[in-house]
Amino acid sequence: MKAKVTLLGLVLALLALLPIRSFAQNERIKDTNANGWYMYFGDHKVADRWGIHAELQLRRYNIIKDPQQVLIRTGINYDLASNALFTLGYGFIETYPYGDYPAASRFPEQRLYQQLQLKGNLDRLGLTHRYRLEQRWVKQPDASDYTYLNRARYMLKATLPLAGTSLEPKEFFVAAYDEVFVGFGENVKKNIFDQNRAYAAFGYKLSNAASLELGYLNQIVQKANGVVFEHNHTLQVSFFHTLNFASQE
C-alpha cells in the first residue's frame, strides 16, 4: 500500500510540472510578497479511533501589518491504523486584496476536503505523506454567485530530532516539507498547476501533546489567468496540539 501511495504522490508532482513547461514561452508577471502565517493545529481524540481536527490560520501581508487571509478548518478524524489517519472536513477562507495584482475586494471561499495521512520512519527521520482532495466554492469579487473548483494536494514532510534517535519532550528538531497543488475539473482555467509550497523550520517539542515550529515558506502561486505568478516569502509560526478525551481504561 505504501508503494502505491508514494507512486500517486510522484504522479501528482509530475502533473504539476506540465503546466509550468507549457507556459514557459508565454509572458509571465512575477509578484513578490512578504507574508506571515500564524497557525494553530489541533487533533483531539474523543474515542478509541475517532477524533476532531481544529485549525485556525491568520495569514498576514507585509509579515504582520495587513490582512491576507483568515482560514478556519475543522474535521472528523478516524484512525485507520496506528500510522494512517483519515479526515473528512470543512473549511472557510476569507481572502483580502494584497500584492501588486490584488483582487478587487475581499472574497469568501467554502471548502469540503478528504484527507489521508500516512506516517513512518526512515532511521531517525520521521516522514509524513498527506493526500488531500478539495471541493471548493469560491465567490470572486466580480461574481454574483460561487464558482465550483476541484483541487488535489500532496505533501511530504520530514522531521529530524537534533538529540537522540527519537523526538522526546523538551527537545529541538528540524522539519521540512514540500506540497504541490493541482487543479482539475471543468472550471479550472490556466492554473492546472495551482501552487507549490517549500518549507524549512526549527521546532521544539514542548510536551507529548504540544510542539512549536518557526520556519520559512517559499510559496509559488499561479493565478487563474496563467500569467501572474506570486513568489511569496513567508514567515510561518505553527503550534501543534493534541488532547485525548477518550476514556482511559
- Which domains, from first to last, does the chain contain? 2-244 (2.40.160)
pLDDT value at 2 more than 60: no
Q: Which pLDDT score is estimated for 21? A: 43
Q: pLDDT digits over 181-215, tens only? A: 999 999 998 889 999 999 999 999 999 999 999 99
Cα–Cα separations (whole angstroms), residue 185 to 97, 145, 167, 182, 223:
26, 18, 41, 10, 16
pLDDT value at 17 more than 80: no
Q: Which pLDDT score is estimated for 23? A: 41
pTM exceeding the 0.75 threshold for the entire prediction: yes
Q: Which pLDDT score is estimated for 89? A: 98
Distance, CA of 83 to CA of 156 (rounded, Å): 15
**β-pairing verdict for 228-244 and 29-45:** parallel
Q: pLDDT digits over 124-169, tens only? A: 999 999 999 999 999 987 778 999 999 999 999 999 999 988 899 9
Distance, CA of 93 to CA of 142 (rounded, Å): 17
